[in-house]
Structure 1
Amino acid sequence: MSALLLNGKELAAKKRESMKVVVQNLVESGTTPGLAVILVGENQASQTYVRSKQKSCEQIGIHSELIKLPEDTTEESLLTEIDRLNDDPAIDGILVQLPLPQQISERAVIERIAPQKDVDGFHPINIGKMMTKDKTFLPCTPYGIVEMLKEAEIDISGQHVVVIGRSNIVGKPVGQLLLNENATVTYCHSHTKNLRDITKQADILIVAIGQAKFVKAADVKEGAVVIDVGMNREDGKLCGDVDFEEVKNIASHITPVPGGVGPMTITMLLENTIQSAKDRS
């Protein structure tokens, strides 16, 4: 038995088609959704992500603005730029591409973005609202994962979800969103003892640790749903944190890398930007 593929690329394309219509209606009523992306420095991966985000905006009719700043930009200069965008009525969403050069505090930057324009869903106010199930912008990768599970009609309520990873961007928020959907959630990380004993209990296993092919067939329960958030390069090829070839014979559903979670991340960023524009209109 081979697992069913959870194809994020296909779902993203489907969602974007319906987004086009929503954006068109907003534009016709006098509101053009606007997303500003700030890129500091010359990080190659960041430049690739930013290009992809801009292209996605163009495809569905969102106005996008790219602000490129040099590697030696001061924290004060970046915060001033964010203040300008906070005050710009044509901008509904502000995204500062991470990672940032070491002279700039990530936390200071995230906290400076107005919560109502924080389409990444990282501001402490929005994280707090997510915890209490208030309406807010949800972090894009976790939001995309939940959408994939729902689209595939995978039961979340009552399921044991195991998350490997505890980052503020994926690990922590994805566990919280699935807890909000009535799952029972266990977090694992580098200090977890007897990791395999825990992962083998997972009905839904989410892997976000940044280690190529870390999860093997022996770590996975027969019939589990496996969501691979990893993006690594091995022998020049992209691969995830899960050994796909091994695990696809054990899991009931699995995300490929690339083409799984990645396309959904950008799609939910667009969704948040559209929602922000609706709130303004």
Structure 2
Amino acid sequence: MHSNSQDGCAALAQESRRLIRQGGHTGPTAGLAPGCVQANLMILPDSLAGEFLLFCQRNPKPCPLLAVTEPGQYTVPALGRDIDIRKDVPKYRVWRHGELVAEPADLDAVWRDDLVTFVIGCSFSFEEALLADGIDVRHISMGVNVPMYRSSIPTAGTRSLHGPLVVSMRPMKAKDAIRAIQITSRFPSVHGAPVHLGDPSLIGIRDIHQPDYGDPVAVHADEIPVFWACGVTPQAVIHTVKPEFSITHAPGHMLITDVGNTSLASF
């Protein structure tokens, strides 16, 4: 990570995290701390952490790792000086045996000393680059959460972790979709290039207007849907595998880091 990018984002990110910690922001984090990397969370007992690390290595597009903590550690110094994993996300999801049991605003009541946090790159980073190039990002212009779908594309599983690839969708005119491929290819640590363009049924999506996560958006007659691998994929794995205990962010409710988006561009 480039320190100058982090310094430029630090004040914005820290103010946003403070606001979230105090309950002043409880909704999705798109648009908060512009220019700063936002991230997905997957929090698992140490007994599953090694296998999940292998899962991420086998599935770098949906699960691009930005950081991994030691068991029980709730700070992530590489991504922000004052980050507290237990308090800095507006809404968490607590899962037991694959079932969603709570959506708390902090993890004080459920935190354990054996928990390992995986911080995973998020498409909010490349959306900023798309907007800077004049490409409409529909869920942002509509003020809603990005639509996400469980696809029929399988992830590369491990001994006990497997499940479908979750994809996020942004409708675009064909010329903008071509440009979006070029732009997002520069950001492999936040999902990179799209995994599919066009007919949703070819990747198992029956109704583009009924996402599994997030909100539906308008797809105009002169547009095609463009699909990227999504960091909500681990939540589909939880649903499939049903581990004893796990925690994630609620979709769209991300961890804001001190890292600048530009520092993630590979070229």
TM above 0.5, one fold? no
Q: Given the two structures, how large is their TM-score scaled by the length of structure 1?
A: 0.30
> Normalising by the residue count of structure 2, what TM-score does the alignment of the two structures yield?
0.31
Structure label with greater radius of gyration: 1
**Relative CO higher for 1 or 2, CA cutoff 8 Å, sep ≥ 6?**
2
Q: Higher strand proportion, which one?
A: 2
